[in-house]
Amino acid sequence: MAPTCYLPALGMVNALGSDLAGISAGLFAGDTRGMVLESDWLPGRSARVGRARMAALPALPAGLAAHDSRNNRLLLAALSQITTELHAAIARFGAHRIAVVLGTSTSGIFEGEAAVAHHARHGTLPEGFHYGRQELGDCARFVADALALSGPAYTVSTACTSSAKAMVSAQRLIQSGLCDAVIAGGVDTLCRLTLSGFGALEATTADLCNPMSANRRGINIGEAAAVFLVSREASPVALLGGGESSDAHHVSAPDPSGRGAEAAIRQALDAAGVAPEAVSYLNLHGTATPKNDEMESRAVARLFPAGVPCSSTKPLTGHTLGAAGATELGFCWLALSPHNVERRLPPHMWDGQPDPDLPTLALVQVGDTIDRPGRRVMLSSSFAFGGSNCCLAIGDAR
């Protein structure tokens, strides 16, 4: 029988805050103040973005200067929150038995943009610029180098399912016996290339995103880092499993029926060994684009005919793209934490105007709590371009 995987530690930074206490307080209060309107991202118009709520990001050690990027600095800010647990795992298992699996879609593109602009003005790249820092694999290499790890280290980049798939990969590495622990999660940072791309698709809005509303107009982009220690050693919260599917309906639009999303969620339920009615909470992908919310609400309504408490947390952080899966799984982890003594759930912040063309969902309001006894199980869904779908199951360890 494959060993159970556990989640003993989590570090996060996003628009809600720069540590777990601040993020938890903002999460359960429905704090949208981190979603700021800025004018320098898109030509001729403003964009509302979820900027990491930190006064300054930490500098990388001098020996790791080749990895220096905003993406890796944000990652370091999250990683530093679980330093004690990481060093204990390295001492316990050995550096060769610790893997690194991270998800990203931006890596060091922000620095790449600045380098291209410098070249256009001066005909040369900036002094000290290293192309490798914008390669997608750089964040995993950075963590492995920073901690002197020699186990597997790689990056998953499947757009908005990247860090959710990284968590599935982490579980497989442990269950296969290749590793005893994995540093897993995701990181993405704001950059013009990403915002311009979504702007060209007419998928963004300068208003606060409004998932599942009749008035939804599109997404807000955010930046975040979320890093878990995944271990085979028991702790209160378990990674129960995941489900993945690829419906390949369209390069950027989801299958309107939601069948691919439904398949991924069913797999996660099967992996966790729970029935739909046993789920305490579902974190929706909930981008507030017309097509995503349409297909996702249909899939959820079919899977949970009796209803399930659910919410999209993207109005609190923005859509953090490659970091979204791990970030939103982190919100489930905070809901399961013993520090959440009131058993509160992440609320769904919107204008309260349901779309009559969408199935009605049991959307969580500020102050709602888990009202069912027994073991708590939560799901977090992530969907991406190209029909990539992933759902993660997390819950109280038995």
User: From CA 281, how far away is CA 279, in angstroms rounded?
Assistant: 6
Catalytic-role residue among 67, 179, 209, 285: 285
Cα separation, 252 vs 337, in Å, equals: 36
Q: Which of 204, 363, 351 is nearest to 287 (CA)?
A: 204
**Residue 5 known to be catalytic:** no
> Reading across the β-sheet that carries 281-283, which strands appear in turn?
153-156, 98-103, 181-188, 224-231, 5-13, 237-246, 388-396, 377-384, 281-283, 309-311, 362-363
Pairing of strands 181-188, 98-103: parallel
Burial state string for 292-322 with b = 16 or more CB within 10 A and e = fewer than 16: bbbbbbbbbbbbbeeebbbbbbbbbbbbbbb
State how far the Cα of 114 lies from the Cα of 93, in Å rounded to an integer: 41
Which is the catalytic residue, given 191, 310, 319, 390? 319
Other residues' Cβ atoms within 10 Å of the Cβ of residue 28 = 22
**CB 256 within 8 Å of CB 27:** no
Instruction: Give the amino acid at 53.
Output: R
Q: At 212, list the tokens.
A: 């599942």
* Among 5, 67, 139, 160, the one annotated catalytic: 160
Paired residues of 181 in beta bridges: 98, 231
- Choose among 201, 204, 228, 231: nearest CA to 216: 204
Is 285 part of the annotated catalytic residue set?
yes
User: Which of 227, 224, 229 has the alpha carbon at shortest distance from 74?
Assistant: 224
Give catalytic status of residue 339 as yes or no.
no
Annotated catalytic residues are 160, 285, 319
